[in-house]
């Protein structure tokens, strides 16, 4: 069993997560291996949100009273913190959304607004092409399908190879002068595959296409820097990075956001309004119509503090050791097929697998009886499952608080599941 690094004290970390002491039955502790769906929150995140609500809560960016000022400072302070966490050159490039899905929809709708005053680079029209990949979460697929449908553009996709990585063999013919957008996931929520961002950015730049990165699964688990990645727009999820639900982030290069038409409209995003028309505020306000998720932003900033204090390099190393342990353990069980690459630098801690002859719901049910909480089904990536001829998979995903003992229990649990159904037949 691989021990986590000396400075990474998992037991101390676990003490920060009140929910981890929960029992599912009187003698069944809860083993939470579903951070890929939603992460548990440390006390520091919960406390930050509560503390804001206890002392500073008000509507932001309106009203002249002192409370409005305190709330606005908290909200804008959170924006600065998140900008720092992702390496954004300016907090004005950080847009708060409801979730990562809304961030991606924001981009897809803005690019398809049909506004003739928008520069051609930021307008998707009939005859244009949108390139995605076969391993996308529905959140980074369906908005592009819909954009293509609304505009008459063509949706194309990079296939996934048998080794669970993107098949870039035909990349040169998939990326054409007509390509306006390349939207892809940084890390597959099913396979764990980390995609070659640099290669895709280079291909996009060659034809002047925008790159949109779905970083919901990657940013919480490894050092993440938008400037280094070189992409144009990034979607993040608060609740997958130890933060609250109800908040996501769109990061975009300011020179692009500045020229992009709004998605949702209404209060807070305007410059001037008369009865016939309105003009819009500069980013990020232009993309934040209505009262934003304020306490959630404060909680998300606290999550960034928490992650940074642990160290993203250390988190990545910890989760890599657990992933290695899980892959090695599962490899020793007859009938288990890993749907994802072998451990290498290009993979992280989402481990999906098929158990021969058993539906993932049944597998998850037996694991749950042992207190092991995993995700089952198609994980919002239906086309990817079809690609590998499976109806669904069972997925364990590892977090900062996951222990080697929990991974052992999980591997034993999978073996037990096979025995359980074997004993019934």
Partner 1 sequence: MSSPLSSLYTELVIEHDKRPLHAGLREPFTSEVHHVNPTCGDEITLRLQLTDGRTRIEDVSYDAVGCAMSRASASIMADLLIGRTTAEVEPVQEHFEAAMRSRGRLAGDEELIGDGIALLGAAKFPARVKCVLMSWKAYQAALVEAQTLGA
Interface positions, 389-418, toward partner 1 (CB under 8 A): 391-392
CB 13 within 8 A of CB 35: no
Report the residue number, 243 or 360, with the smaller CB distance to partner 1: 360
> Using CB under 8 A, which of the segments 117-125, 150-158, 215-223, 385-393 binds partner 1?
385-393
> Vertex 85, ends 82 and 90: CA angle to 5°?
65
Concatenated DSSP letters for 360-376? HHHHHHHHHHTTEE-EE
Q: Is 220 exposed, middle or buried (0-12, 13-18, 19+ CB in 10 A)?
A: buried
Q: How far is the CB of 365 from partner 1 (least distance, A)?
A: 7
Residue 304 among the catalytic residues: no
Q: How far is the CB of 28 from partner 1 (least distance, A)?
A: 8
Q: Does 375 bind partner 1 (CB under 8 A)?
A: no
Interface positions, 335-364, toward partner 1 (CB under 8 A): 359-362
Report the residue number, 280 or 421, with the smaller CB distance to partner 1: 421
Provide the edge-to-edge strand list for the sheet that holds 210-214.
94-97, 248-252, 233-237, 210-214, 179-185, 129-133, 154-158
Count interface residues toward partner 1 (CB under 8 A): 20
Strand runs labelled E in 54-133: 94-97, 129-133
Q: Which helix (H) or strand (E) holds 385?
A: helix 382-387
Report the residue number, 196 or 335, with the smaller CB distance to partner 1: 335
CB 205 within 8 A of CB 153: no
- If one counts every other C-beta atom within 10 angstroms of the C-beta of residue 318, the result is 27
Q: Does 425 bind partner 1 (CB under 8 A)?
A: yes
Check residue 193 and report its DSSP letter.
B
Q: Does 376 bind partner 1 (CB under 8 A)?
A: yes
> Could you tell me which of 245, 219, 284, 217 has the C-alpha nearest to residue 79?
284
Report the residue number, 362 or 412, with the smaller CB distance to partner 1: 362
Q: How far is the CB of 391 from partner 1 (least distance, A)?
A: 6
Q: Does 387 bind partner 1 (CB under 8 A)?
A: no
Residue 133 corresponds to which tokens in the numbers above? 């990949």
Q: Does 369 bind partner 1 (CB under 8 A)?
A: yes
Q: Does 112 bind partner 1 (CB under 8 A)?
A: no
Q: Which helix (H) or strand (E) holds 78?
A: helix 66-86
> Pairing state of beta strands 210-214 and 179-185?
parallel
> Could you tell me which of 243, 238, 140, 236 has the C-alpha nearest to residue 190?
140
Report the residue number, 132 or 366, with the smaller CB distance to partner 1: 366
Using CB under 8 A, which of 88, 343, 366, 384 touches partner 1?
366
Report the residue number, 253 or 379, with the smaller CB distance to partner 1: 379
> Could you tell me which of 355, 398, 338 has the C-alpha nearest to residue 373?
398
Residue 134 corresponds to which tokens in the numbers above? 């076969």
Q: How far is the CB of 102 from partner 1 (least distance, A)?
A: 20
Q: Does 385 bind partner 1 (CB under 8 A)?
A: yes
Using CB under 8 A, which of 254, 280, 388, 420 touches partner 1?
420
Alpha helices (H) along 87-174: 100-111, 142-151, 171-174
Using CB under 8 A, which of 146, 382, 383, 408 touches partner 1?
382
- Residues 390 and 403: their CA atoms lie apart, in Å, by 29
Helices (H) and strands (E) in the chain, counts: 14, 17
Report the residue number, 38 or 118, with the smaller CB distance to partner 1: 38
Catalytic residue (one of 160, 203, 321, 380): 380
- Residues 195 and 213: their CA atoms lie apart, in Å, by 10
Report the residue number, 45 or 384, with the smaller CB distance to partner 1: 384
> Which positions are catalytic?
380
**Which residues contact partner 1 (rule: CB under 8 A)?**
25, 28, 359-362, 365-366, 369, 376-378, 382, 385, 391-392, 420-421, 424-425
């Amino acid at each position: 069993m691989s021990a986590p690094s000396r400075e990474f004290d998992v037991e101390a970390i676990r003490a920060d997560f009140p929910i981890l002491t929960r029992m599912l039955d009187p003698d069944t502790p809860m083993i939470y291996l579903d951070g890929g769906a939603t992460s548990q929150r440390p006390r520091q995140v919960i406390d930050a949100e509560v503390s804001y609500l206890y002392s500073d809560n008000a509507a932001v960016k309106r009203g002249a009273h002192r409370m409005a000022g305190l709330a606005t400072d908290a909200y804008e302070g959170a924006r600065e913190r998140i900008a720092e966490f992702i390496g954004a050159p300016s907090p004005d490039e950080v847009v708060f959304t409801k979730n990562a899905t809304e961030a991606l929809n924001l981009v897809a709708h803005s690019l398809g607004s049909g506004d003739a005053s928008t520069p051609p680079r930021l307008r998707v029209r009939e005859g244009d092409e949108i390139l995605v990949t076969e391993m996308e979460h529905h959140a980074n697929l369906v908005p592009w399908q819909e954009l293509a449908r609304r505009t008459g553009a063509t949706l194309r996709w990079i296939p996934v190879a048998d080794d669970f990585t993107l098949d870039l063999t035909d990349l040169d013919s998939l990326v054409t002068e007509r390509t306006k957008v390349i939207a892809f996931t940084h890390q597959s929520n099913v396979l764990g595959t980390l995609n070659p961002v640099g290669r895709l950015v280079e291909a996009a730049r060659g034809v002047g296409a925008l790159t949109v990165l779905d970083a919901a699964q990657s940013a919480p688990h490894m050092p993440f820097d938008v400037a280094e990645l070189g992409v144009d727009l990034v979607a993040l999820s608060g609740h997958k990075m130890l933060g609250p639900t109800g908040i996501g982030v769109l990061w975009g290069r300011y020179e692009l956001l500045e020229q992009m038409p709004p998605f949702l409209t209404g209060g807070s995003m305007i410059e001037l309004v008369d009865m016939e028309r309105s003009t819009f505020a500069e980013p990020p306000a232009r993309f934040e119509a209505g009262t934003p998720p304020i306490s959630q932003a404060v909680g998300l900033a606290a999550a960034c503090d928490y992650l940074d204090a642990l160290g993203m390099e250390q988190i990545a190393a910890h989760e890599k050791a657990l992933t290695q342990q899980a892959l090695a353990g599962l490899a020793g069980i007859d009938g288990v097929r890993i749907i994802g690459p072998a451990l290498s630098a290009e993979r992280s801690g989402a481990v999906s697998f098929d158990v021969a002859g058993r539906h993932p719901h049944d597998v998850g049910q037996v694991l749950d009886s042992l207190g092991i909480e995993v995700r089952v089904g198609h994980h919002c990536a239906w086309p990817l499952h079809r690609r590998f001829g499976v109806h669904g998979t069972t997925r364990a995903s590892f977090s900062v608080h996951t222990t080697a003992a929990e991974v052992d229990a999980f591997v034993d649990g999978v073996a037990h599941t096979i025995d359980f159904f074997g004993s019934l037949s």
